[in-house]
A and B are shown apart, each in its own frame.
Chain A
Amino acid sequence: MKKSLSKWFTGMMIGTLLLTTAGCGGGAAPAANSNSQGESAKLGVVAYMSGGGAAYGQSQKEGLDLAKDEINAQGKIKIDLVYEDSRGNNTDAINAVNKLINKDNVVGLIGPTLSGEMFAAGPIANQSGVPIMGTSTTAEGVTDIGEFVFRNALPESSAVPQAVKKAVEKYNLKKVAVMYSSNNDWAVSGYKTMEKALQDNGVEIIATETFADKDTDFSAQLTKIASLKPDAVMVSSLYQEAALVLKKAREIGITVPFVGTNGFNSPELIKIAGQAAEGAIVASPWYPGKENEKIKKFVADYKAKYNKTPDQFAAQSYDALHIYAAALEKSGSTTDRQKLRDSLATIKDFEGVTGKFAFDDKRNPLMDATVLIVKDGQFTELK
């Protein structure tokens, strides 16, 4: 018995050694001949593709793949995408970015999905001088990491105040209750912006309640809020919790408008909350129902390929790759990272599906948001 175990152990060790050497051998090859292929530009993508948040990474991948096919079909420039999974984990995001930069020799990076991952992995790209563009990293301070860090995700600080302002004007709000997910960095960031926007508009906050991501029971918070009779409820969270909050709120008879951060802006919200989503308000640069040729084509193509309506994650990734393509074309090189960064920084008047786009001098996007409201199970513009 002992002998067989030891044999098994030996086999295991040899196997591991083989794997290790195989891995190293595989790693050395692309590094050697990376300069000979000058034709297509290699971009790395770091996304949350497995685990609890895989839905977001999946949308991003779909948007990127669609954009890649279009760009390659046009033929002005060829793009290769290398995907790496960050699993929503900082260490993995760092490893993925390091691998893409040093092993795959990518010219630029897209991602990671979460702001926290960007805070961990962004400095690596910045130090190595590789441009990195977040498509969903909306938290405060992301682009302060360094001058190679870009984002085309509209920061909360510009979208949320628009939604708040519109709602305050429209519904004449005097006192509101605020709810947010306190263990989600992005939702907390959204909450802070919301709080400030409310103060700026002279609205009184009569209750602030928190919950956590993946919570399912909101009855205690909502019962408390219902007893205070607010004019509206502001929610900063991802769509799943937002939808459950809406459902519970309508069940216990809270009928006032709900204003949300970006998390509200997903078809899933309506799918989960159903009737309860009626009257939910959100500001977003992405609005699939807009009368615009580009958007119509994108929505139709996306539907044809994946059989669903694109969400904001897909739309912003789609735009991000097109922005990269424009910058690559302008820089005239498919391998020069510095040139790519410089030409990215000069992008302006770019027409994307999320609207007219430019980078400001801090590499944040300058774009307009539309304030949307859910009506008859559809996002429509709030006028």
Chain B
Amino acid sequence: MDVILNQYYLQIAIFVLLNAILGVSIYLTLATGQLSLGNAGFMSIGAYTCAILTVKAGLPIYLGIPIGGIAASFISIIIGFPALRLTGIYLAIATLGFGEVVRVIVLNLKVTNGALGISGIPTLGAKIGKALSALGFPHGVGGLTAQQTSNLMVLVVLLLCLSFLIFFCTRLNRSRVGRAFAAIKADESAAEAMGINTTYYKLLAFALGALIAGIAGGLSAHLTFFIGPKDFAYNRTVEILTFAVLGGSDLIIGPIVGALLLTLLPELLRSASEYRLMIYGALMVAMMAFRPQGLISEETVRFWKRKLGRGMKQ
């Protein structure tokens, strides 16, 4: 039990969940076959909006995080209208450019404190801890330290967020909207010919992705105590992209598995950390060459279902 409750493992679990949420954000835009490299930018908008609201305006965290998400998706709609006329690599590059522009603006604004970033952001854990002690559990619950309890609570909160997102996305897939997404992904002109308003659905996917990236940004601000423009640069975009590349983007579980693996592996291979990015790079090339659909595709799931089903019968 002690091993599981070790702060270190709890912290990693928290980052796994955060990254999984980011994985969902890129999955949603990829669901229409659009690659957006602006997720780090949207994350940055969410994180800064949320941090400024909670630190400077004293808003509670549970309001700040959704507002950050909404701000990100609002901006995504503004740039989405013209941007979604672009397809494929053009959109990827335009959104990459958007991320860079956001970074420069953040660097120059007073309210974001430029390169110095915003420090001393109240942590989610500390807030929950305070709430708990107000409820009469000053030293944690059931023999756990206050820190362990608050970290566990953060974990639960993130888990709830992620479960909701998974639930939402699976429902979405079975709905009209999801089918429209799939049709656009398969063939945009054909989808349009069938009477699907492709611009509307592409924009919807784009805005949903931005919303989730913004929420993840807000969460990350309250998990890392400090945010600076550097945290949301090109590297972060590439990192989010690798979740989807490794896990696959056909099914929602793909990027989540990708996030899990790519957050855990570096911790396990800490001693090889200087080779870590080289391995990432090689991994991206290898995945594209040998398994462009990612580790998990619909076929894999079908295969396992069949196999497990057979096993049951025997």
Contacts and interface: CB of A to CB of B under 8 A. Distances in A.
Interface of A: 2, 5-6, 9, 12, 16, 19-20, 22-24, 27-28, 31, 49-51, 84-85, 87-91, 94-95, 98-99, 101-103, 116, 119-120, 122-124, 127-128, 139, 141, 144-145, 181-185, 187-189
B62 interface: no
A299 to B, nearest CB: 28
B6 A94 contact: no
Interface residues of B, number: 41
Contacts of B3: 24, 27-28, 31
Interface string B110-135: 00001111011001000000000000
Contact of A185 (B12, B15, B115, B277): B115
A75 B13 CA distance: 41
Given A90-B231, A91-B15, A9 B300 contact: yes
A241 to B, nearest CB: 13
A95 B11 contact: yes
Interface stretch (B73-81, B174-182, B221-229): B221-229
Contacts of B119: 119, 141
Contacts of B120: 119, 144-145
B230 interface: yes
Nearest to B118: A119
A145 to B, nearest CB: 8
A359 B264 CA distance: 39
B108 A98 contact: no
A230 B35 CA distance: 49
B123 A188 contact: no
B224 A183 contact: no
Interface stretch (B163-171, B192-200, B265-273): B265-273
Given A84-B270, A119-B225, 7 more contacts: A31-B6, A90-B224, A91-B15, A119-B117, A120-B225, A123-B123, A185-B117
A264 B168 CA distance: 54
B7 interface: yes
Contacts of A90: 224, 226, 228, 231
Contacts of A119: 117, 119-120, 225-226
Given A91-B224, A116-B228, A183-B229, A23 B268 contact: yes
A6 B300 contact: yes
9 contacts: A49-B273, A50-B276, A102-B8, A116-B226, A119-B225, A120-B224, A124-B11, A145-B120, A185-B117
Contacts of A88: 230
B261 A103 contact: no
Interface in B1-55: 2-3, 6-9, 11-12, 15
A171 B11 CA distance: 54
Contact of A116 (B107, B230, B264, B270): B230
A107 B7 CA distance: 16
Interface in B222-268: 224-226, 228-231, 261, 264-265, 267-268
Contacts of B228: 90, 116, 185
Interface of B: 2-3, 6-9, 11-12, 15, 107-108, 114-117, 119-120, 123, 147, 224-226, 228-231, 261, 264-265, 267-268, 270, 273-274, 276-277, 291, 295, 299-300, 303
The secondary-structure label for the interface of chain B is: helix
Given A27-B9, A188-B116, A99 B270 contact: yes
Contact of B107 (A85, A91, A183): A183
Contacts of A87: 273
A184 B12 CA distance: 28
A103 B11 CA distance: 12
A19 to B, nearest CB: 6
Contacts of A9: 295, 300
A63 B261 CA distance: 35
Contacts of B261: 16
A258 to B, nearest CB: 22
Contacts of B7: 98, 101-102, 128
B226 A101 contact: no
B183 to A, nearest CB: 25
B117 A95 contact: no
B8 A101 contact: yes
Nearest to A104: B8
Nearest to B2: A31
A42 to B, nearest CB: 15
A103 B8 CA distance: 7
Contacts of A182: 107-108, 114-115
A127 B148 CA distance: 11
Nearest to B220: A91
A98 B270 CA distance: 13
B8 A6 contact: no
Contacts of B147: 127-128
A95 B267 contact: yes
Given A95-B12, A102-B6, A185-B228, A23 B115 contact: no
A224 B7 CA distance: 53
A330 to B, nearest CB: 28
A61 to B, nearest CB: 12
A98 B115 contact: no
Contact of B116 (A16, A94, A99, A139): A139
B145 to A, nearest CB: 10
A13 B11 CA distance: 23
A51 B273 CA distance: 10
B8 A94 contact: no
B274 A50 contact: yes
B6 A116 contact: no
